[in-house]
Amino acid sequence: MDKAVVLIAEELSPATVDALGPEFEIRYCTGADRASLLAALPGADAVLVRSATRMDAEAIAAGTRLKVIGRAGVGLDNVDVPAASRAGVMVVNAPTSNVVSAAELTVGLLLAVARNIPQADAALKGGQWQRGRFTGVELSGRTLGILGLGRIGSLVARRMAAFGMRLLAHDPYVPAGHAERLGARVVGLDELLESSDFLTVHLPRTPETTGILGFDALQRVKPGVRIVNAARGGIVDEAELYAALKEGRVAAAGIDVFATEPCTDSPLFELDNVVVTPHLGAGTAEAQERAGVAVARSVREALAGRFVPEACNVRLGEVDAELDPWLALAERLGGLFTATAGALPGRLRVTVGGEIARHELAALELATVKGILAPVVEGGVTYVNAPLLAQERGLDTELVTGAESTAHRSLVRIEGTLPGGEHVSVSGTLTGHRGGERLVELLGHDVDVPLGDGLAFFLAPDESGLIAGAGEALARAGAAVESLRLARTGGDDGTVLVAAALAAPLEPAALDDAAVRMGAVRGWGLERRR
């Protein structure tokens, strides 16, 4: 089998390639070169980028085999996430990879604007010894206002508390208890602006936050405030900041990000009380390595068809690690349901009982739908496009939880009624310390077989010698039989379910031949309809 192709479009750490592993073919292109990118994308199953590669709708359409886009960093400004979602392409990034680096740069800029370190360095290297000109202020005893108390803002709070600063924070989405644990007091935006001697910004750029530190806000700041923005450009209005600096309302500013990047010409560059850096928040070897490794791991999971909780366009919240093996079980049961039914039901019920029912199960429901659709959808089904594909095919899903499972600690049951009125059901569980997948019910028959790729099923007349006849028929069809089980429903239709565990799946023609030889009404396998 050909290896999946991972296209690396920008320079990433060697640890990124190591994390991908040898099972992938690694190719390279220059993502900033549009022609090179578009030429390389058609052969790629995944593409890894940083910030210079633009994965817009055109690029995504060129990647006809794409299953996942990995952004080795935090922001997604250069990835068209809606276009990727429409194409069923998963988008993953590394949202926590640079938090320490960004927090440390913020601390560095705070010190720089408090003590005029870059300006004094430049003057001394220019032959000027000017101690009095660069007199600064201490951080200790001053009030730091933190605008945005997420991961990075929280790290800044911890670090600046050690400097003896008083901490204020404004973030309507963070509980007051979290701020209190950091030694910060939650306040409204007006109080933050009016009381802060230093002000740091740690917000994402959204329509609501763009320009939040603009004319009105900068009119309300405490005179002499020093502002640091190492979050996103555009949150601080650069023109209004320039005016406030010129007027002296803002004493100094440390700016790492700009509304338009790269930025090599700005009025802010003219001012001696401004320290600027070229978007260095994630610019450490450690952050780059963490980002690359995290994205590589997510890409591995996505290309294996597994659920990736960190995917930006699969919004299901946190998924408990205990639930992971149940997702794989639900997907496989969904595939068996479709193979058994030979058609899609109009409505599907997924019942989860026992211990596993205490978890948030939206991901398990989605995994079931993915498995149901996989045998009948060309072009592939992913966790991203499964909801849309189900909607297009009129498949509604009902999730029922909390039912007790008397025979098993936990159980997943899938059932639905076909257009012709036939009711189809399939149930499975995980057993043993390794969590082996096990089929325990099919079409109302109690079965107990490992849920492996080589399973085959037959509905045959309930006659003596059936097991021997089934074994002979399968052997003649070229199957290596590992075990045979009979399951009866207790009904009076005169048929019995034969479950055969084979060393390898049978091709459709061979499976049909075995069914004819044993006089079965029908036969089918786990992976494909028969």
Report the Cα–Cα distance between both ends of the chain, in Å, rounded: 24
* Cβ–Cβ under 8 Å, residues 501 and 446: no
Helices 466-476 and 508-517, packing angle to 10 deg: 140
* Cβ–Cβ under 8 Å, residues 245 and 273: yes
Burial group, residue 122, by CB count within 10 angstroms (0-12, 13-18, 19+):
exposed
Rounded distance between C-alpha atoms, residue 105 and residue 111, angstroms:
10
466: left (phi over 0), alpha (psi -120 to 50) or beta: alpha
The CA distances from residue 359 to 307, 427, 428, in Å, are: 16, 19, 17
Tokens found for residue 474: 């399968």
Q: Which of 279, 290, 332, 438 is catalytic?
A: 279
Amino acid at 377: V
Q: Give the SS3 label for residue 139.
A: coil
Q: Which of 138, 180, 247, 261 is catalytic?
A: 261
Q: Give the SS3 label for residue 5.
A: strand
Whether 279 is a known active-site residue: answer yes
Tokens found for residue 204: 């994402």
* Cβ–Cβ under 8 Å, residues 149 and 155: no
Report the alpha-carbon angle 314-318-319, nearest 5.
90
Residue 114's nearest CA partner among 134, 84, 128 is 134
Whether 433 is a known active-site residue: answer no
29 bridge partner residues = none
* Cβ–Cβ under 8 Å, residues 174 and 186: yes
Count of residues in the chain: 530
Q: Which of 232, 300, 332, 445 is catalytic?
A: 232
- Residues marked as catalytic: 232, 261, 279
